[in-house]
Structures are given as structure tokens and as C-alpha cells.
Amino acid sequence: MTREVAYKVWKLYLEKGVFLSKGIEREIKKVSLSDQNMAFLFELLYGTCRQKAFIESIIKRFVKRKRTPSFALISLGVYQILFMRSVTDYAAVNESVEVAKKCGLKRESAFINAVLRKVVSEKSKLKVVPSDKELKNASLVASYLSYPEWIVKKIHFGFGTKKGNNILASLNKPAFVPLHFFNTNKCVDKKKDYTISDIDEEVFVMSPSQKASVDMLEIKKGLKVLDLCSSPGGKARVIEHLLKGNGELVCVEKNIKKLRLQKKYRETKALKLCNSKIRTNFLCADVTYVNEIFLSGYFDRIMLDVPCSNTGEMSKCPEVRWRLKEADIKRLSKIQFLMLKSSSKLIKKNGLLIYSTCSLFEEENKNVVSKFLEDERNFFLEEEEIVTPNLKSPFGGYHAKIRKVTT
């Protein structure tokens, strides 16, 4: 049953570009899966997506004919054989054949069986680690670590070959769920065994990179705070907690559906947990024109978490690497600069503006901030940080702490 669901979701992604999360949401409504089976489903789908290029290169060695619907099922089978230690080779092959018979691919079952058996027979040869010399070749790295070549080249350019390869390898690891717990004074990480009941302790989910950007804001009682591009609302919830019932928070989001969900969550869950009495407003607006909405110099703090390539979160969202085009980076950087320029008009003298991304590319990070500071001499860069993914924490991003010094 679980592999049938995985096949249907993966087929939807390959043929129609449906995000894995949306495909899973759609298909699991039709079946009942245990927590264990759900974990298997997520590992199989997200793992296959991360290793898509590598798996396809393996299939090409054994299959010369044109793509058919069976390729989706073969890809899932190859991932199980090469990457899932909990699955025996026999189960990977046999179960894939059974899914084929149940999902209208009975005529293809013998073909699927033959290809997967061939993969099993040459398993040791297929997982050979390239030499250090080969790992300097962007094309070989792209195939081995499963990325578009242009992404590999950009990461190598920004971080060097060795560190770049380590970053790319870490982004192929399953993303953990980073849980943080509030205490009476501030937001802290709290390592412990937890159950679902711990949600009543005011738990929130946020990557280390995102949490670092909130810490940069230096939130204290009585401040007026603007949270731009605020969905899904994690940062807003932390800010609201740190204001300690005294201050003002405005959340701006362009997508009305996302904004409604954020507002609904605050009213039904977050507000109850935080017991907040501060004034929080929600506004649907385009951040590139936000300077036309609010009074100039009204806010003490601004959090600007701009739309970006999300390359620092390719572990959590593996589809990013296959949907993103190199031309998107230039387009995004233009939007990011306009957002930074517009939002800067709203900050008070001595106020702080945090420019934040989940990107690993300089064009979206340092270059945007540098261009802004060249144009706006009444601001200076107080601090910046690039968080690089690693094997312990496969999340990355960039934060710039910008202070307004004159009006």
C-alpha cells in the first residue's frame, strides 16, 4: 500500500510537477497509513527526489528505450536498493513488481523486474565514490551528488570545491525537525525527548538559520515591529512572545491564502499559548511597494525575509534543485533589492532592519546588501552571517543586520 502511494505521488511530480507535499496530501486521503508507513513514504519520496539525477544516470546504463510510466516505479526501486538500508534487495524488487501489477503496469512488470535485478547485481560498482580529482569536476559532482551542474558551479565558486561539495552532500541528508521551546525570558533550544503533548509548552518549529535572523532583531518590550513576507508565521510568533505583551507587530504577506492561514493559526492556537495582549495586525500587500502604505520612519525593527531561491533548504525541499533555473537568480535579486529599498523607508533612526534569505548564492545575499548600502548612505552594515549547511544541520541561509544612523 505504501509503495503504491509513493508511485502515484512520484508519477504526479514527474508528469505534472506537483510538489511532493501536495501529492502526499492528496493521496493519503484515500488510504490509512500508520506512522511507520508514513515515515517510510516520506523517506522514499524525498530521498528519490534528492537523488533524482544520480538514479536517472543509473537507469540509463541499463535502459535504452524511451521513457514510459514504468520509469517512475523503477526510480523508486533503485532508491530502495542503493540508499535504504532498512529494505532488502529482494523486497525492493519484488514489491516494485507487485505495485506495477496493481497500478496498470502489468505488461511492464517483467521489464521492471529485469532492470532492478540488474541494479542489484551491480550494486557494489554503482556506489563507487569518485576520486578527489574527479570531485573537482562540476559535471561529475552534479551526477554523483545529484544536482543541476549550474548549481554545483555556483556553490563551488562561492565556497570553494571541497567545502562546496560538503555543503552539497549535507543537503542530500534528510532534514530533521528543529524544535525550539520558549522559556520565561527568551527563545531557546531545548534538547529532550518529546511527545505531541509538548505542543502545549509553546513549541515552535524553525530552522537554526531562521532562528538566528530573529535573534539579530534584538526584540524588547515596547517596540514597533514590521514582519515582511511573514508567512508561515514562525518568526512572527517568536517576535510576539519576545515583546512580552508590550508593543506592536504588523505582519505583511502578498499571498492572501497564506496570510489567512497565519492569522487563523494565531487566533486559534498561538494566541492561546503565548497569552499575548500586544496589537498585531495582518496586511495583504506587495512588499516592493510597502513604503507607500506606512508612515516613513514608523518602525523600530523590520524583519525582511525575502522570497529567494531556497537553496539553503534543498534538504527539506528537494524539488527546489530541479525547478529552479539559473535565470531565476537574477530575477529574484532584482525583487529582493526593491523590497529592501522600499522597506528601508519605514525604519526609525537607530532602528534595525534584518535582511534574511534561505539562499546560498552571493547574488541574493551580499551583493543585494552591498548595492543597497552604496545607494543609501544613512545605513550601515552592523553584522552579517552566512549559515552553511552541514551534516549535523542541513539548513543554510544569510542574514544582514542593517542599522539606520541618520534620517
Residues 70-129 have pLDDT tens digits of 899 999 999 999 999 989 999 999 999 999 999 888 888 889 999 999 999 988 888 777
Average pLDDT over residues 236-248: 83
Residues 383-403 have pLDDT tens digits of 999 999 887 888 899 999 999
DSSP letters of 60-105?
A: HHH--SPP-THHHHHHHHHHHHHH-TTS-HHHHHHHHHHHHHHTT-
Three-state secondary structure string covering 299-313: EEEEEEECCCCCHHH
Predicted confidence at residue 226, as pLDDT, reads 93
Torsional class of 17: left (φ above 0), alpha (ψ -120 to 50), beta (otherwise) = left
Predicted confidence at residue 186, as pLDDT, reads 38
Model confidence, pTM: 0.87
Predicted confidence at residue 314, as pLDDT, reads 92
Predicted confidence at residue 260, as pLDDT, reads 85
Predicted confidence at residue 269, as pLDDT, reads 57
Average pLDDT over residues 250-260: 87
